[in-house]
Chains A and B, each alone.
Chain A
């Protein structure tokens, strides 16, 4: 048995050992056994924390051909490719033939015998993966901290825990600058082409582009959100690739391949494309760039094992085994009501003393599309928070608070310029043969914060109208129609949309709550400055973070008795005043009741929760009456 050090640093040793052993016994199924081996290893306690992560550690500190992990998001799926699964090499000196395994590799060894009868062609699939879009800094930091990977760098790297740059945190900065410098030094002595590539990479990583237009760099890494950082990766999948879907969150364990030969091969092509060799001149340069970017910039990761992530909250167990998870759930369940109280108090404070709005905000934050009935997504709870003060950039501060609470989120200022210029919907680029990402290509349970207070009067152009329609579709049906030029393709999604607006939003929403501030506008500035202080109490924050993620994972049911009483209630309400309550209202009340129960850690609906849901709905509606203003956008 190879030691721990071996299977992480030299996974090929394991793979090739098994391959060699299988030669005597053709039916040994060595491929399955190899995957099994790594799976077992990773199951061992804390073993997965020993594997270095591409998310935290700059690529040049990682050993090529070592086992790494990558927490990522499938942005695009390329075409399947055929490769030499097994091939034979001939030693030029001795003419001795050796069988070799081509699995998990990009490049073959010297002297391939192309006419060997022992060559086996196999198929694999390539996914283009990027870090999870909108992942908040605290998540990245936390994941990085939990890693125990001992990176043995080729350069003078001190194995301190590596952090991604973190804009707001000052004390983090000096830690971050050190590897930056090293990176520069590292890039120095390389060949001009390499240097060029690396320089680009650096620009991508260090500058957070403030403008919406992604940099015109020819190596656009195609992140869904502008200003994202981190490596992107071509993940090669060897089996069951049909089980992965676009926009899935994965934790991939695989063998890192950064062979410079890959980029060298790509360079060669530009130089010497010839008439008789048709395959080269057919592919556009763009396609080359996208599908074979320099390995120094976009490494290849040969997947051994991948875990679909239910959430990307580092504070929760990563749901490797369901037993662990349920135990964890049970322990937190009892604490939930008390945490909820604290969170409610905190959010009430944040929402300028409006407890009802805080209540609804909690419900929104734990909402989740849990099932779809034909076209109808159930469980979505888009909240429109109207009456947001426009002074002291309140909406942005509110977003910063939310950012501290949820694992991934994105702030979309709905300014006219943004709406007219941004690409929200992903679009297929047939020239480069890839899916050009858009801001609505988000992983599940991402919080999308739409700031409508930024919208001013003016003209929406065609793009603007299309973007607004896309947002409307997202909210109503939880789907995004990706643009495939000749047709559209519908991709279901699960995004929590929160709209902050002054009046009623122009977008549809499941629920609108008008903010009633208890703070006089003159004191707002002062109030807000104190508010921000509170967010630094980190253990408190962690409790909130766990609470919000757990509430979303809970199961939920309604007993027959409660069903009955809900039905009776509905009939009674209709009897009193049929105009006041419609099927739509019942839908919403059922969602509110569900979320309310879950927020209290109850997995089934109780009579009390139902009454409470009715009560807060009534409160909200009465408040709506006061602020009723018809703006012509009613459905």
Chain B
């Protein structure tokens, strides 16, 4: 806190530029009726041309001569035009977001240069011809236009969640005004896009001169409001907060031309400062005669009155902190979102100042769209030094925050708004979709460096597109899973990890973890005590982070059972329940899982079933829609193609490769577009085809006394068919989609659910962990063992090894130790015998 006494010399010099004798009567006069009408009277910081150091006038400490074009008396702006109608005592609140409190001189557009028209400004009848100095904004017209906009603007196609519950065929903003009168929250958010579609010129003015236009909007809206709701009571006057300026910029493209313009940028909050009280108005009292005066902060400085106006004593005024007016302020640092960044560079950061009620609206980690005014201020000048650092400090005065990830709480469809496609791009994508072989094209564009495995790539492609979301919460079943889960298993070194890496790099919200290094909490969420605030914070893990994306889990088999068990809920219910340390919640984890597992014996044993090979619980396996084996086909033609493919990797140039395959960016856009805009529904024929397919699958099994399909498989088929329809950009699932889904499903099943003993496809391997034949075999062995024991006659205890050898000698097929153990266990279950250590006792 610097008291005026310690004001450096530079400030004093600055003060001289505003002769106090003229300024103070105005100030005290104003303050008598209204604490801060000043905020309605903006002041341009920049002349119309952007390049001319717009920010320079903000600092006056070096200013040794008055602003050339604006004589000091111009600052005295008591034009009735600027005050509007008195708002029945509702105080206006200062808007530090629009810059320091200053008065805007108006100039007559058609008359002489501003220096000569001191009188014009105060004539209200000349209002029509007045513009605010440095701009082309005429207050009257601007106000009128905006009022017309508020009264008339209708947007029947609005989908924003802000407008939920409003009648879209009535003027939107009038309804909002009504809302304000009911709720009493005097903030009016205005979508700039609406303004643009209503009046492009008004929009241009808003973007170019926000500091002047927004207060005009404020006036307009308040007049309108108090006209309509004369009896309502508000804490302070309504403030207009524009958002969604079309001139949306990425942080990287901000340049000096944007200074003092209204911009919207997106980014991630990385740091917020503590609340900073910022002085808006200083209260001075004369030490001699107790005469008090108020001085508004002007461009960050307080002009300390040198002479008491009452008793004419010099340097007798002291600042009284308690009676000065402060406003809240917070510094927020935002950083570019990782998606917006070019590769190989570090993200940029920008400082944002939030004022008043925008303070503490955002937390570190939030993704936000910020609308505000871009500012540049010269570095603080050292009064004792004559030369200055030639660098400006830039920041954004926030006017509006919009959290982008908050929307995910409301629903899923809004993701669409994030990614905007240009018309050209949509056209290219549609052309691509119209091609008959689009499915093949896309699947071959996927991970081109990985050779063949066409079906696996197709499976992954369908996973990338996903099924259609269906909501059955009305009927009590909640959401149906739309994500396709895929498990890849196979020999080491068959580029499973590479596929996973590729997918992880392709999808915007992908996560990559390795089963070896992840713990259950790493996948789900954990509760942490924030070191600074000492609050409990929920930290989300990979599965939650990949909500609406794909979670790639490598080394799935090496995961601990404990960790794997959390996947059960995620992979079917798509939620994650947490109950720890007083935090009980259910998080969405609508993630598709792409897992890779190695066989237990490091090499795939073709004589064993999938379950036996990878040793995963069948409860988990049945949750995978597709399980692919990546095995070495061991066939000459394949080898040759593989060799050719690999060799070409080593000598083809980058360009040659590019030509052959679709660009990764196109693929990305294609997927994003399909995921957002295409929601296929089952057609009549398709449903019939699905029913048939399902019945067929059941039939195959029932012929041999096995069940080869469960409802889960039917659901998988539906999902795959929908995904395939999405690939075609078709809103309808047709028979061809079902055919492909069937084919792919069968392929995957053929690979993973074939009973190695019989060669038949047997889904029960995946659902119960044991094939029907194996179960039969187990029973047979148990019976044989029982007979053997009975044949031995009355021996209450037998040696384990002895019994095994006897059974082996008797049986014509090989009896493994496991089989024998299982048989013993089966008999123990029958209460026929017990096994203790190495002895087997009969129970009789």
**Binary contact readout B93-135 vs A (1 if CB under 8 angstroms, 0 otherwise):** 0000000000000000000000000000000000000000000
A116, B53: Cβ atoms under 8 Å?
yes
| A398 is an interface residue with CB less than 8 A from chain B | no
Main secondary structure of the interface of A (DSSP, over half): mixed
Could you say which of A102, A373, A431, A484 contacts B390, with CB atoms under 8 Å apart? Answer: A102
| B642 is an interface residue with CB less than 8 A from chain A | yes
| B151 is an interface residue with CB less than 8 A from chain A | no
Q: Which residue of B lies closest to A236 (CB)?
A: B391
| B566 is an interface residue with CB less than 8 A from chain A | no
A82, B494: Cβ atoms under 8 Å?
no
Knowing A117-B52, A571-B636, the reply to whether A469 touches B517 (Cβ < 8 A) is yes
Residues of B within 8 A of A272 (CB): 2, 8
- B359 CB → nearest A CB, Å: 13
B649, A373: Cβ atoms under 8 Å?
yes
Knowing A277-B300, A570-B639, the reply to whether A87 touches B390 (Cβ < 8 A) is yes
A109 to B389, CA, bound (A): 9
Knowing A115-B68, A275-B2, A563-B644, the reply to whether A106 touches B389 (Cβ < 8 A) is yes
Residues of A within 8 A of B2 (CB): 272, 274-276
| A112 is an interface residue with CB less than 8 A from chain B | yes
Residues of B within 8 A of A486 (CB): 268, 270, 364-365
- B106 CB → nearest A CB, Å: 20
Q: Which residue of A lies closest to B11 (CB)?
A: A276
| A400 is an interface residue with CB less than 8 A from chain B | no
Residues of B within 8 A of A280 (CB): 380
| B521 is an interface residue with CB less than 8 A from chain A | no
A108, B365: Cβ atoms under 8 Å?
no
B53, A119: Cβ atoms under 8 Å?
yes
B639, A571: Cβ atoms under 8 Å?
yes
B380, A430: Cβ atoms under 8 Å?
no
| B414 is an interface residue with CB less than 8 A from chain A | no
A115, B517: Cβ atoms under 8 Å?
no
Q: Which of A13-21, A62-70, A584-592 contacts B (4 or more CB under 8 A)?
A: A584-592
- B92 CB → nearest A CB, Å: 22
Residues of B within 8 A of A264 (CB): 382, 385
- B542 CB → nearest A CB, Å: 12
A414 to B491, CA, bound (A): 31
**Binary contact readout B472-511 vs A (1 if CB under 8 angstroms, 0 otherwise):** 0000000000000000000111110110011001000000
| B646 is an interface residue with CB less than 8 A from chain A | yes
| A122 is an interface residue with CB less than 8 A from chain B | yes
A225 to B600, CA, bound (A): 41
Which of B8, B385, B649, B651: most chain A CB closer than 10 A?
B651
| A208 is an interface residue with CB less than 8 A from chain B | no
A378 to B652, CA, bound (A): 12
| B394 is an interface residue with CB less than 8 A from chain A | yes
Residues of B within 8 A of A76 (CB): 346
| A80 is an interface residue with CB less than 8 A from chain B | yes
Using C-beta atoms within 8 Å of the partner chain, give the interface range for chain A: 35 or more
Could you say which of A371, A491, A558, A582 contacts B493, with CB atoms under 8 Å apart? Answer: A582
| B430 is an interface residue with CB less than 8 A from chain A | no
Q: Which of B209-217, B444-452, B779-787 contacts A (4 or more CB under 8 A)?
A: B444-452
Q: Which residue of B lies closest to A584 (CB)?
A: B493
State which residues 209-260 of B face A: CB under 8 Å: 254-256, 259
Which of A90, A245, A487, A491: most chain B CB closer than 10 A?
A487
| A105 is an interface residue with CB less than 8 A from chain B | yes
Residues of B within 8 A of A558 (CB): 647, 650-651
A107, B636: Cβ atoms under 8 Å?
no
| B20 is an interface residue with CB less than 8 A from chain A | no
A121, B650: Cβ atoms under 8 Å?
no
| B176 is an interface residue with CB less than 8 A from chain A | no
State which residues 539-597 of A face B: CB under 8 Å: 556-558, 563, 566-567, 570-571, 574-575, 578, 582-584, 586-587, 590-591, 594
A121, B51: Cβ atoms under 8 Å?
yes
B505, A122: Cβ atoms under 8 Å?
no
Residues of A within 8 A of B59 (CB): 114
Could you say which of A114, A583, A605 contacts B57, with CB atoms under 8 Å apart? Answer: A114
Could you say which of B353, B392, B502 contacts A83, with CB atoms under 8 Å apart? Answer: B392
B389, A262: Cβ atoms under 8 Å?
yes
**Binary contact readout A244-288 vs B (1 if CB under 8 angstroms, 0 otherwise):** 011100000000000001101100110010111111111000000
**Binary contact readout A425-464 vs B (1 if CB under 8 angstroms, 0 otherwise):** 0001011010100000000000000000000000000000
| A79 is an interface residue with CB less than 8 A from chain B | yes
| A374 is an interface residue with CB less than 8 A from chain B | yes
**Binary contact readout B647-658 vs A (1 if CB under 8 angstroms, 0 otherwise):** 111110110010
Q: Which of B188-196, B271-279, B610-618, B733-741 contacts A (4 or more CB under 8 A)?
A: B271-279
Residues of A within 8 A of B639 (CB): 570-571, 574-575
Could you say which of B255, B279, B343, B390 contacts A107, with CB atoms under 8 Å apart? Answer: B390
| B183 is an interface residue with CB less than 8 A from chain A | no
A276, B301: Cβ atoms under 8 Å?
yes
B498, A376: Cβ atoms under 8 Å?
yes
| B338 is an interface residue with CB less than 8 A from chain A | yes
Number of A-B contacts (CB under 8 A): 242
B331, A114: Cβ atoms under 8 Å?
no
Could you say which of B47, B382, B497, B643 contacts A566, with CB atoms under 8 Å apart? Answer: B643
Knowing A264-B385, A268-B382, the reply to whether A278 touches B376 (Cβ < 8 A) is no
B498, A114: Cβ atoms under 8 Å?
no
Could you say which of B1, B279, B343, B449 contacts A374, with CB atoms under 8 Å apart? Answer: B449
B388, A567: Cβ atoms under 8 Å?
no
A368 to B459, CA, bound (A): 34
B602, A563: Cβ atoms under 8 Å?
no
| A77 is an interface residue with CB less than 8 A from chain B | yes
Residues of B within 8 A of A563 (CB): 644, 647-648, 651
A505 to B8, CA, bound (A): 66
A278, B278: Cβ atoms under 8 Å?
yes
Residues of A within 8 A of B602 (CB): 634
State which residues 358-414 of B face A: CB under 8 Å: 364-365, 376-380, 382, 385-395
Residues of A within 8 A of B331 (CB): 282
A378, B649: Cβ atoms under 8 Å?
yes
| A93 is an interface residue with CB less than 8 A from chain B | no
Which of A274, A281, A476: most chain B CB closer than 10 A?
A274
A80 to B256, CA, bound (A): 11
Q: Which residue of A lies closest to B393 (CB)?
A: A279
A489, B650: Cβ atoms under 8 Å?
no
B256, A121: Cβ atoms under 8 Å?
yes
| A25 is an interface residue with CB less than 8 A from chain B | no
| B620 is an interface residue with CB less than 8 A from chain A | no
- A441 CB → nearest B CB, Å: 11
| A111 is an interface residue with CB less than 8 A from chain B | yes
| A635 is an interface residue with CB less than 8 A from chain B | yes
Residues of B within 8 A of A90 (CB): 64
| A190 is an interface residue with CB less than 8 A from chain B | no
A409 to B34, CA, bound (A): 71
B657, A276: Cβ atoms under 8 Å?
no
B448, A374: Cβ atoms under 8 Å?
yes
Which of A282, A433, A566: most chain B CB closer than 10 A?
A282
A477 to B449, CA, bound (A): 14
| B527 is an interface residue with CB less than 8 A from chain A | no
10 chain-A/chain-B pairs, Cβ below 8 angstroms: A77-B345, A115-B56, A374-B505, A374-B664, A376-B498, A567-B643, A575-B636, A575-B639, A582-B493, A582-B632
Instruction: Tell me the B residues contacting A by CB distance below 8 Å.
Output: 1-2, 8, 47, 49, 51-57, 59, 62-64, 67-68, 254-256, 259, 268, 270-271, 273, 276-279, 297, 300-302, 329, 331, 333, 335, 338, 341-351, 353, 364-365, 376-380, 382, 385-395, 447-449, 451, 491-495, 497-498, 501-502, 505, 514, 517, 602, 632, 634, 636, 639-640, 642-644, 646-651, 653-654, 657, 664
Interface pairs A-B: 3 shortest CB-CB: A119-B53, A245-B344, A373-B449
**Additional A-B contact list (19), CB under 8 Å, known A121-B51, A279-B379, A371-B654:** A107-B389, A112-B387, A121-B55, A242-B342, A242-B345, A265-B379, A274-B1, A279-B377, A279-B380, A282-B276, A374-B448, A469-B514, A484-B338, A485-B270, A486-B364, A486-B365, A575-B636, A582-B493, A605-B651
